[in-house]
Chain A
Amino acid sequence: MANVETLTLDCRDKPTRDINNAIRKAADDGVKTVEILNTRARHNIGVGILKPIHLIYRGHVGYYTVGLCDGVTAEIHGSAGWGVGDNLLAGEVVVEGNAATSAGPSIRGGRIVVKGNGGPRCGVYLKSGDLIIGGDAGYMSGFMMQNGRLIICGDAAKGLGDSMYQGQIWLGGKVEEMGSGVAETEPEAGELDAVLEMLDGYKIKPPKAFRKLESDRSLWNFNKNDFAAWKDVL
């Protein structure tokens, strides 16, 4: 199948295993792009792909789309179910619609862009890389985040950044209630520009202003004098 630029894959009547094997084989054969049709919110389409390839999903996708992948880029022309881009090591996933619970859980690199809203726990355990939410983000977004950047252009629900260890949250809108151990900090030179440039690259309208939030490190080590914070998190 060498020299084929684009492969079209129709998910209808195909078991998940065959679809993923076809994508893996395409990547092995040097196919540049796989266009995936009739996704019908099916789960686990495009997981465990470890060679560079570009995936175009025509429609909504289910759980764990582009999960446990390395070096894959993807456009999802629809909305995504739970855990889109789960544990991504490198690459890029762009969701044109909304993302359900836990978008980009525990990613260790790469970038996930949700142009619509994100459900609860966006960027939970984020370890590295970027997660961009063009709209609002649900409760406990950035929970126990370890590093990387979580960019929320709209509002955030309760518990934003709760127990985050490191990393940055950029918030455009209001927050219903901040999580424990989070503080607003001054952006360093160039940081905001980098965020705005990134949004521009995806044609996401930036909010009027961004607040930068980081861990205040009060939860790094137990301190009995910080009991008010610890009682919620211990």
Chain B
Amino acid sequence: MSSAFTRPPAYSGVWHPDAIEEIQEKAELGRYQIRGQATKRHDLPSFDDLVFTPAGLSRMPLEGYRERCDTKVVIGEGRVSRPLVLERPIMIAGMSFGALSINAKRALGIAASNCGISTCTGEGGMHPEEREHSDKLVMQYLPSRYGMNPYDLQKADMIEIGAGQGAKPGSGGVLLGLKMSEEVARMRDLPPGVDQRSGCRHPDWMGADDLYMKLEQIREVTNYAVPISIKVGASRIANDVRIACKADVDAIVFDGMEGGTAASPTIQLDHAGIPTIAAIAEAVEALHDMGKQDDIKLIVGGGIKSGADAAKAIALGADVIYLGTAPMIALNCHRPIYLDDYERLGTTPYECQHCHTGLCPVGITTQLPKLMARLDVAEGAERVTNYLNAMTMEIQLFARSCGKNKVADLDPNDMRALTQDVALMTGIPMVGLNGRQPWWTKF
């Protein structure tokens, strides 16, 4: 029997079960909650609020499954002697060895190499196996400087100066004791088993002018060969983009508040930073304000799941998509296998987010050999390769259907907004208005 009336839940909207559970957990732990993966919010503006408006009579599409549609992006072209060539507009995001198991690092490296794209060390230094498995490897230069040395900088294909991430803008990395294995600790010059809380501020530069000097130092060390990007969590993004332009970076990386993490305070996941879609709009405008849109690439992450999300981000002005969580899911994160272990963690597949514990049931975010062995490198690499191939095809599908023979040619005019919020944020016209005032306002 259906009824038009649905009774509201009997519990309070203020003292919602989640709020009660949270208070009781804090009463037990004496600290804020920490979790992995991403914000649990359901109310953020989404790429689903945009749709493409492909060709019809007024514009010709390209043959969907045949005609060439270029996906290449070059970072630092004409600026450094060894620019980073990405065969697709995708990068695997910086995820540390420590946060991820070495098997996960190997699998991601192989998959990225198969697809002609890059991986990134994340915090904690460059693991030799990661260099070996990744044809193109970006090295992060972070406040903590774990494992930092000039030799590895010279081995990298791009340097990414980390100044924040979307999951916890304004704070540093967290790696809890169980993941601080002998090897991870050695690479970071830390005692095994400590709860590592990294600094969030670089030890030796602060403002925009210092950043320029820091950039010069790294360019000197790497002989002006490879591009240098700077990564921030999207919050004060327009001003951050302006400062990065002034420092003359080759690329700007940011992820919105949806961005993934291996461990962050939950309050920061849910209450800090701005959503990816809003951040792209602000960043692209700032880049144009600075007149740098042709020189400096925008690398954008934070909750990007599919070729549709990716193509929309590109149409809004991103040059490259930065993927962290999605390739982990391709590696089997949340897969309903080893159910007993999910249960032991007090969770289930799809709800897990227990990456911070170091007890990942599927061997991705753990340093325990028994769990790590559950991730088969060859199989994992194949799954991630398949996923990246599918995503690339999806991006091309939209580009071709919009009549573009280059993915990079997707632009805001190729889309319409389904919701007023997103229309307002991005400037993309609402559907039904044909990009102008309603027809009846003419009369």
Chain A contacts to B: CB under 8 angstroms? 16-17, 20, 43-44, 47-48, 50, 62-64, 67-70, 82-83, 86-87, 89, 101-102, 105-106, 108, 121, 124-125, 127-128, 143-144, 146-147, 163, 165-166, 220-222, 224, 227, 230, 233-234
Contact = CB atoms under 8 A, between A and B. Distances in A.
Contact of A17 (B194, B214, B218, B224): B224
A148 B218 CA distance: 25
B127 interface: no
Contacts of A17: 220, 224
B193 A234 contact: no
10 nearest CB pairs, A to B: A224-B30, A83-B204, A48-B221, A105-B203, A106-B145, A124-B203, A127-B189, A68-B150, A220-B194, A102-B204
B189 A108 contact: yes
A127 to B, nearest CB: 4
22 contacts: A16-B220, A47-B220, A48-B220, A48-B223, A50-B151, A64-B204, A64-B217, A68-B153, A86-B204, A87-B148, A106-B148, A106-B204, A128-B189, A146-B189, A163-B197, A165-B190, A166-B191, A220-B194, A230-B31, A233-B197, A234-B32, A234-B197
Nearest to B194: A220
Interface string B131-151: 000000000000111001111
A44 B213 contact: yes
A48 B216 contact: no
Given A48-B221, A102-B204, A234-B197, A70 B177 contact: no
A66 B270 CA distance: 42
Interface in B161-220: 177, 188-191, 193-195, 197, 199, 203-205, 210, 213-214, 216-218, 220
Contacts of B149: 68, 70, 87, 89, 108
Contacts, number: 117
A70 to B, nearest CB: 7
A222 B195 contact: yes
B29 interface: yes
A83 B203 contact: yes
Nearest to A123: B203
B440 to A, nearest CB: 58
Contacts of A108: 148-149, 189
A125 B150 contact: no
B92 to A, nearest CB: 26
Nearest to B221: A48
Contacts of A63: 204-205, 210, 213-214, 217
A69 B223 CA distance: 14
A108 B190 CA distance: 12
A43 B216 contact: yes
Contacts of B144: 125
Contacts of A62: 213
A182 to B, nearest CB: 16
Contact of B203 (A106, A165, A233): A106
- Interface residue range, chain B: 35 or more
Nearest to A166: B191
Contacts of B31: 222, 224, 230, 234
A44 B204 contact: no
Given A128-B189, A220-B191, A47 B221 contact: yes
- Which of A47, A68, A165, A233 counts the most B-chain CB atoms under 10 A from its CB? A68
A50 B204 contact: no
Contacts of B218: 68
Contacts of B199: 125, 143-144
Given A17-B220, A48-B150, A227 B190 contact: no
Nearest to B30: A224
A91 to B, nearest CB: 12
A97 B149 CA distance: 27
A15 to B, nearest CB: 10
A102 B195 CA distance: 25
A148 B285 CA distance: 47
Nearest to A146: B189
A165 B194 CA distance: 9
A40 B263 CA distance: 45
B197 A47 contact: no
- Which of B148, B220, B224 counts the most A-chain CB atoms under 10 A from its CB? B220
A159 to B, nearest CB: 13
Nearest to B153: A68
A44 B216 contact: yes
A89 B145 CA distance: 12
- Which of A17, A50, A163, A222 counts the most B-chain CB atoms under 10 A from its CB? A222
B154 to A, nearest CB: 8
A130 to B, nearest CB: 15
B287 to A, nearest CB: 27
A67 B197 contact: no
B220 A20 contact: yes
- Which of B193, B197, B203, B222 counts the most A-chain CB atoms under 10 A from its CB? B203
A186 B214 CA distance: 39
A51 B414 CA distance: 55
Contact of B30 (A121, A127, A227): A227
Contacts of A227: 30
Contacts of A146: 188-190
B204 A82 contact: yes
A105 B143 CA distance: 10
A82 B206 CA distance: 11
A101 B221 CA distance: 22
Contacts of A144: 199
A69 B150 contact: yes
A230 to B, nearest CB: 7
- Which of B153, B197, B216, B221 counts the most A-chain CB atoms under 10 A from its CB? B221
A10 B195 CA distance: 49
Contacts of B29: 224
Contacts of B213: 43-44, 62-64
A165 B177 CA distance: 13
B150 A50 contact: yes
B195 A121 contact: no
Contacts of A105: 145, 203-204
Interface string B219-231: 0111110000000
